[in-house]
Amino acid sequence: MPVHADIEVLLKGATAAVAPDRAGAERVGTAFRVAPGYAVTAAHVAAGVDNGRVRLSFGEGSECIAEVVAASPPPPEGGRWDFDDHAVLRLERPDLVTAPCVLMAEPALAPRDELLISALNPSYVERVVEIYHGYHVRDTHLPSRFFTIDGDRGVIRGMSGGPVWSTRHGGVVGFVKASENIAAAQGGAIAYLLEGLRRLRVPGLYEEIVLAHDGHHRDEQAWADRLVGPEAMVRRWLVEVHGWLARLTIAAERGVSSGLVGELFRDTFPPAPGRLITLRDVAEYVGTESQNREFDLARFCALAPNHLPPDSAVAEGLRRIPKKIIPPRDYPEFERMFLAPRPVSVAVTRLFGVIVPEEGPRTDECAPVPYRFEVAQKFGDQEIIPLGQEGRYPGYDHAKDALKSALHRHLSNINAPRDAVEIVVALPDEHLTEEPLYEWLRPDERPFSSKFAMRLRRSCTWEKSDEQLVELEERWNRLRQREFDALFWLRCDDPRAERLATLQALFAPDDAGDGPHDALGVTEPPTTHVLTASATNALPVTLWRNERCAAHPACGVECAGSDFRARLTRRLGGRSPVDWHDQIWRAQRAREESEERDRFWRKVVYIVDIPGQSRRRPPPLAGPA
User: What are residue 302's phi and psi, to 5 degrees?
Assistant: -80, -35
* pLDDT tens digits, one per residue of 3-23: 678 999 999 999 999 999 887
Better pLDDT: 179 or 89 = 89
pLDDT at 125 over 70: no
497 in a structural domain? yes
Kindly tell me the sign of the dihedral angle through the C-alpha atoms of 40, 44, 45, 46: positive
pLDDT at 316 over 90: yes
What gap in Å lies between CA 331 and CA 84, rounded to an integer? 44
- Whether residues 491 and 593 fall in one domain: yes
Residue 175's DSSP bridge partners are: 163, 191
How wide is the angle at C-alpha 214 spanned by C-alphas 98 and 159, nearest 5°?
55
413 in a structural domain? yes
What gap in Å lies between CA 136 and CA 150, rounded to an integer? 6
pLDDT at 89 over 90: yes
Cis peptide before 620 (omega within 30 of 0): yes
pLDDT band at 116 (very low <50, low <70, confident <90, very high): very high
- Whether residues 468 and 600 fall in one domain: yes
* pLDDT tens digits, one per residue of 481-508: 776 567 888 888 788 888 888 888 888 8
Residue 40's nearest CA partner among 196, 254, 148, 231 is 196
- Whether residues 466 and 604 fall in one domain: yes
- Whether residues 514 and 450 fall in one domain: no
Say what the pLDDT of residue 417 is.
Answer: 63
Boundary residue ending a domain (69, 96, 123): 96
Q: What are the DSSP calls for 21-66, one per residue? A: SSTTPPP-EEEEEEETTEEEEEHHHHTT-SSSEEEEEETTS-EEEE
Residues in contact with 387: Cβ distance below 8 Å, sequence separation at least 6, in sequence order:
374, 375, 376, 377, 406, 410
- Whether residues 511 and 374 fall in one domain: no
Which residue type does 52 have?
G
541 in a structural domain? yes
Q: What are the DSSP calls for 200-260, one per residue? A: S--TTHHHHHHHHHHHHHHH--HHHHH--STTHHHHHHHHHHHHHHTT--SHHHHB--HHH
- Whether residues 567 and 424 fall in one domain: no
Chain-centroid distance, C-alpha 433: 27
Task: Report helix, strand or coil for 395.
Answer: coil
Q: How many CB atoms are located within 10 Å of the residue 514 CB?
A: 8
Better pLDDT: 81 or 328 = 328
Q: How many CB atoms are located within 10 Å of the residue 610 CB?
A: 18
Question: Domain with 34 in it: what CATH number?
Answer: 2.40.10.10
Boundary residue ending a domain (291, 313, 339): 339
163 in a structural domain? no
What gap in Å lies between CA 613 and CA 377, rounded to an integer? 10
* pLDDT tens digits, one per residue of 546-573: 888 877 766 556 788 888 888 888 888 7
Say what the pLDDT of residue 619 is.
Answer: 58
Say what the pLDDT of residue 7 is.
Answer: 94
What gap in Å lies between CA 454 and CA 437, rounded to an integer? 7
How wide is the angle at C-alpha 236 spanned by C-alphas 234 and 238, nearest 5°?
70
Task: Report helix, strand or coil for 421.
Answer: strand
Residue 379's nearest CA partner among 344, 419, 417, 420 is 420
Average pLDDT, rounded, for the chain: 85
Better pLDDT: 499 or 591 = 499
Q: How many CB atoms are located within 10 Å of the residue 51 CB?
A: 10
Say what the pLDDT of residue 362 is.
Answer: 61
- Whether residues 552 and 438 fall in one domain: no
H-run or E-run covering 371: strand 371-379
Cis peptide before 495 (omega within 30 of 0): no
How wide is the angle at C-alpha 106 spanned by C-alphas 100 and 112, nearest 5°?
100
- How many angstroms separate the Cα of 401 from the Cα of each of 266, 350, 394? 22, 20, 12
For the chain, the farthest-separated pair of C-alpha atoms sits apart, in whole angstroms, at 107
111 in a structural domain? no
Over residues 28-47, mean pLDDT:
95
pLDDT at 218 over 50: yes
Q: Which of 163-172, 299-308, 386-395, 457-466 has the lowest mean pLDDT?
A: 386-395
Q: What is the dihedral of CA 274, 275, 277, 282, to 10 degrees?
A: -150
- Whether residues 311 and 375 fall in one domain: no
Which residue type does 243 have?
G
Residue 159's nearest CA partner among 320, 288, 44, 330 is 44
How wide is the angle at C-alpha 17 spanned by C-alphas 12 and 22, nearest 5°?
155
Residue 102's nearest CA partner among 194, 29, 201 is 194
Domains identified in the chain, total number: 4
219 in a structural domain? no
What gap in Å lies between CA 61 and CA 622, rounded to an integer? 89
Q: Are strands 519-522 and 541-545 parallel, antiparallel or unpaired?
A: parallel
Say what the pLDDT of residue 18 is.
Answer: 94
103 in a structural domain? no
What gap in Å lies between CA 238 and CA 284, rounded to an integer? 7
Boundary residue ending a domain (48, 75, 96): 96
Q: What percent of the chain has pLDDT over 90?
A: 36
Chain-centroid distance, C-alpha 548: 36
Say what the pLDDT of residue 182 is.
Answer: 45
Say what the pLDDT of residue 622 is.
Answer: 46
Q: How many CB atoms are located within 10 Å of the residue 400 CB?
A: 21
pTM > 0.75: yes or no: no
Residues in contact with 269: Cβ distance below 8 Å, sequence separation at least 6, in sequence order:
446, 447, 450
- Whether residues 469 and 557 fall in one domain: yes
H-run or E-run covering 166: strand 163-166
Say what the pLDDT of residue 414 is.
Answer: 74
- Whether residues 487 and 369 fall in one domain: no
Over residues 602-615, mean pLDDT:
88
- Whether residues 291 and 402 fall in one domain: no
Over residues 340-358, mean pLDDT:
79
pLDDT band at 620 (very low <50, low <70, confident <90, very high): low
pLDDT band at 280 (very low <50, low <70, confident <90, very high): very high
185 in a structural domain? no
The 8-class DSSP code of residue 474 comes to H
Better pLDDT: 2 or 66 = 66
Q: How many CB atoms are located within 10 Å of the residue 313 CB?
A: 12
Over residues 583-606, mean pLDDT:
87
Better pLDDT: 87 or 389 = 87
- How many angstroms separate the Cα of 170 from the Cα of each of 6, 99, 254? 12, 19, 24
- Whether residues 600 and 481 fall in one domain: yes
Say what the pLDDT of residue 623 is.
Answer: 45
* pLDDT tens digits, one per residue of 137-162: 988 876 657 888 888 777 888 899 99
Say what the pLDDT of residue 451 is.
Answer: 66
Q: What domain range includes position 433? A: 349-454
Q: Would you say 322 and 301 are in contact if contact means Cβ atoms under 8 Å apart?
A: yes
Say what the pLDDT of residue 126 is.
Answer: 66
pLDDT band at 104 (very low <50, low <70, confident <90, very high): very high
Say what the pLDDT of residue 565 is.
Answer: 87
pLDDT at 30 over 90: yes
Say what the pLDDT of residue 625 is.
Answer: 41
Q: Would you say 503 and 528 are in contact if contact means Cβ atoms under 8 Å apart?
A: no
- How many angstroms separate the Cα of 26 from the Cα of each of 171, 178, 334, 553, 563? 30, 20, 58, 84, 75
